[in-house]
């Protein structure tokens, strides 16, 4: 039996998505998986047949018990952690009042977190005879796996994801030492591509044998869930999506939007804008917007061209570059819309940016770009990609023309924010869109949304570096060079917005044969079933005696 350690939720993207996808596929293949995580709504995932809550006083409580619908099954174990949850990037969690980037936490708090998880995992190993541990992320679950491995003499593996490396291991020597020690002791390290393999190897130069432990394990996509539809069927897809939302709780309302808009003036100060953002963002962001159905039903799905962004709304994901490109795209392709799916602290400032562009408030636009990450309380860097784009337009005497186009073409209905959607709904939306853009500013190990777009017949575009670059390279052979080049955005900040403009205009008209070729690669190389079989086979073959006790 396999134990998978994941310190967070199953909803959302990145490692959360990887975890739920790989576990479902393992269960389909007949494996028994013991998952340790903090998911608040396990009943939503049909592969979970039992949930056990471990109270801090030592008592256990069965929260869910039902028959498995798969050949295998997943039993979820949830340690009670108290109020504090260590994370990589600040987010909101409904059960935790004190969510903190782990680099801000004391040794005492980190030590307590580790001990709680070590205690529970040891109980799980003893009670269920688990014989191998898989830990997500470079820290902190890798440390939990390492210490329990030593206590019970069973092997463990680590799968590093980019966020822990970038936001914890590289920023705080405590977590570097934790990770270095865990990677040194691990029997296996799964990497999702050459880029992260190189990143890990360079991160730990003292671990001379680390490369010999690495096995490449592709990211995946459920190609039976994410599949293409004809243009004539897109509206039917959206109707299905809306029906799934019928009884779903809602987050942001039109009144939240209006509350912010009412405060906006061209000369609003940073302090006043931050205050307005704070007041208008008091809603549960991990839910769909109240009026999502009206927004989606306002689209002519057969005649309009649709650009899609799915991801966390933070500056590192680069959504602001798409917003900046829209005026130029719409000037050529006015029958186009951008749909934005997700949540994050950048949403409100981007809504203000769009409003300022629509209203011709150039001074406010410049200020939002200058204030940048301060508006999402993540440092003081400007939105460099837009700043450099504006510098270029100024040198070529095109800046005034840009703002004229923004007022003329970027009306309020051209960008539709949906709020948060799960993959149950997203699979219907991806296939109803023409182009998906992921202009990440930071290196990512491997964006799963890129593969989901491929599987859905939605042409993917992303920053051509790190894991995204590897994903693009892995499918380029299936396309003509001129089409494969459209997937690539330069990682140079001064090129990003211009690349989006030029690439999207052409990508909106990529032929069906190219999209079918992308779909075939998604099936052949990236389907989760094949990936989970490779993972399970390798985990079960790891030596049962750990080598560094």
| Cα of 41 vs its chain's centroid, Å | 19
C-beta pairs of 240-244 under 8 Å, 24+ apart in sequence: 240/428, 241/296, 241/425, 241/428, 241/429, 242/292, 242/293, 242/296, 242/297, 244/424, 244/425, 244/428
Q: What is the pLDDT of residues 329-355, one digit of tens each?
A: 999 999 999 999 999 999 999 999 999
pLDDT digits (tens, 9 = 90+) for 271-306: 999 999 999 999 999 999 999 999 999 999 999 999
Which residue, chain included where needed, has tokens 């992921």? Answer: 438
pLDDT at 549 over 50: no
- Do 404 and 328 contact (CB within 8 A), yes or no? no
Q: Are 522 and 451 in contact (CB under 8 A)?
A: yes
Q: What is the pLDDT of residues 169-223, one digit of tens each?
A: 999 999 999 999 999 999 999 998 888 899 999 999 999 999 999 999 988 999 9
User: Quick check: 93 pLDDT over 90?
Assistant: no
Q: 48-57, 87-96, 236-245: which has the minimum mean pLDDT? A: 87-96
Q: Establish whether domains 2-220+529-541 and 231-524 are of one fold.
A: yes
**Res 94 pLDDT > 90:** no
| Distance, CA of 267 to CA of 265 (rounded, Å) | 5
Identify whether the C-beta of residue 109 lies closer than 8 Å to the C-beta of residue 82.
no
Could you give phi then psi for residue 527, rounded to 5 degrees?
Answer: -70, 135
Q: Residues 259-281: what's their mean pLDDT?
A: 96
Per-residue pLDDT, 546: 54
pLDDT average, residue stretch 1-10: 96
Mean pLDDT of 71-99: 92
pLDDT in tens, 123-135: 999 999 999 999 9
**pLDDT exceeds cutoff 90 at 42:** yes
Tokens encoding 36: 């340790």
Neighbours of 113 (CB within 10 A): 22
Give residue 287's pLDDT: 95
Digit-coded pLDDT (tens) for 139-150: 999 999 999 999
Name the token pair of 157. 């593996």
455 or 17, which is more confident:
455
Q: Is CATH 3.40.50.2000 correct for 231-524? A: yes
Domain coordinates in residue numbering, the chain: 2-220+529-541, 231-524
197 near 216, Cβ under 8 Å? yes
User: Could you give the strand order of the β-sheet that contains 488-489, starting from the edge strand earlier in sequence?
Assistant: 415-419, 336-341, 305-310, 435-438, 459-463, 488-489
Q: Mean pLDDT in the chain?
A: 95
Please tell me the CATH superfamily of domain 2-220+529-541, with its number.
Glycogen Phosphorylase B; (3.40.50.2000)
CA 388, CA 441: separation in Å to the nearest integer?
14
Of residues 337, 496, 487, the one with CA closest to residue 418 = 337
Q: Is 62 helix (H, G, I), strand (E, B) or coil?
A: strand
Binning pLDDT at 50, 70 and 90, where does residue 77 land? very high
CB-side neighbour CA atoms (13 Å) of 364: 22
Q: What is the mean pLDDT of residues 368-375?
A: 97
| pTM as predicted | 0.82
What pLDDT is stored for residue 342 in this prediction? 95
Phi (first) and psi of residue 99, to 5 degrees: -95, 120
- Give the C-alpha distances (Å, rounded to integers) separating 231 from 186, 228, 512: 49, 9, 11
Q: Kindly state the average pLDDT of the residues 499-521.
A: 97
pLDDT class of 91 with cuts at 50, 70, 90: confident
Q: Reduced to 3 states, what is the DSSP secondary structure of residue 99?
A: strand
Residue 546: count other Cβ atoms within 10 Å of its Cβ: 18
Contacts of 329 (CB under 8 A, 6+ apart): 307, 336, 500, 501, 504, 505
């Amino acid at each position: 039996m396999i134990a998978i350690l994941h310190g967070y939720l199953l909803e959302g993207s990145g490692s959360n998505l990887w975890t739920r996808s790989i576990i479902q596929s393992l269960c389909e293949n007949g494996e028994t998986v013991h998952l340790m995580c903090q998911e608040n709504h396990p009943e939503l995932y049909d592969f979970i047949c039992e949930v056990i809550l471990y109270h801090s006083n030592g008592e256990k409580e069965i929260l869910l018990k039902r028959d498995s619908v798969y050949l295998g099954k997943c039993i979820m174990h949830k340690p009670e952690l108290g109020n504090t949850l260590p994370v990589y990037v600040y987010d909101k969690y409904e059960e935790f009042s004190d969510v903190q980037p782990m680099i801000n936490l004391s040794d005492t708090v980190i030590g307590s977190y580790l001990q709680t998880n070590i205690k529970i995992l040891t109980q799980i190993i003893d009670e269920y005879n688990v014989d191998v541990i898989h830990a997500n992320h470079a820290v902190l679950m890798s440390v939990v796996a390492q210490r329990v491995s030593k206590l019970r003499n069973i092997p463990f593996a680590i799968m590093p994801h980019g966020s822990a490396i970038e936001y914890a291991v590289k920023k705080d020597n405590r977590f570097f030492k934790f990770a270095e020690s865990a990677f040194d002791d691990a029997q296996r390290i799964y990497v999702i591509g050459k880029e992260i393999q190189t990143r890990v190897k360079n991160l730990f130069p003292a671990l001379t044998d680390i490369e010999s432990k690495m096995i490449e394990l592709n990211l995946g996509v459920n190609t039976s869930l994410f599949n293409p539809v004809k243009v004539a069927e897109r509206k039917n897809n959206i109707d299905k999506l809306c029906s799934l939302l019928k009884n779903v709780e809602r987050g942001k309302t039109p009144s939240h939007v209006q509350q912010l808009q009412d405060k906006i003036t061209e000369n609003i100060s940073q302090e006043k804008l931050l205050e307005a953002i704070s007041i208008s963002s008091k809603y549960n962001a991990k839910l769909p917007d109240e009026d999502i159905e009206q927004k989606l039903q306002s689209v002519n799905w057969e005649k309009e061209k649709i650009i899609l962004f799915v991801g966390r709304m933070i500056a590192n994901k680069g959504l602001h570059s798409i917003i900046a490109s829209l005026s130029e795209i719409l000037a050529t392709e006015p029958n186009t819309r951008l749909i934005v799916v997700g949540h994050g602290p950048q949403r409100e400032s981007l809504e203000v940016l769009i409003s300022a562009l629509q209203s011709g408030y150039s001074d406010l636009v410049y200020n939002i770009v200058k204030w940048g990450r301060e508006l999402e309380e993540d440092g003081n860097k400007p939105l460099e990609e837009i700043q450099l784009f504006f510098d270029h337009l100024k040198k070529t005497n095109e800046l005034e023309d840009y703002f004229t186009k923004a007022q003329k073409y970027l009306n309020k209905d051209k960008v539709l924010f949906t709020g948060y959607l799960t993959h149950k709904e997203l699979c219907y939306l991806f296939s109803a869109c023409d182009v998906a853009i992921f202009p990440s500013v930071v290196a990512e190990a491997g964006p799963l949304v890129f593969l989901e777009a491929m599987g859905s017949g939605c042409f993917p575009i992303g920053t051509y570096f790190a894991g995204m670059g590897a994903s693009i390279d892995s499918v380029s052979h299936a396309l003509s060079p001129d089409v494969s080049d459209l997937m690539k955005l330069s990682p140079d900040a001064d090129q990003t917005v211009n690349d989006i403009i030029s690439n999207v205009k052409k990508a909106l008209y990529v032929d069906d044969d190219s999209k079918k070729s992308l779909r075939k690669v998604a099936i052949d190389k990236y389907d989760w079933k094949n990936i989970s079989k490779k993972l399970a086979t390798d985990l079960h073959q790891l030596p049962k005696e750990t080598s560094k006790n």
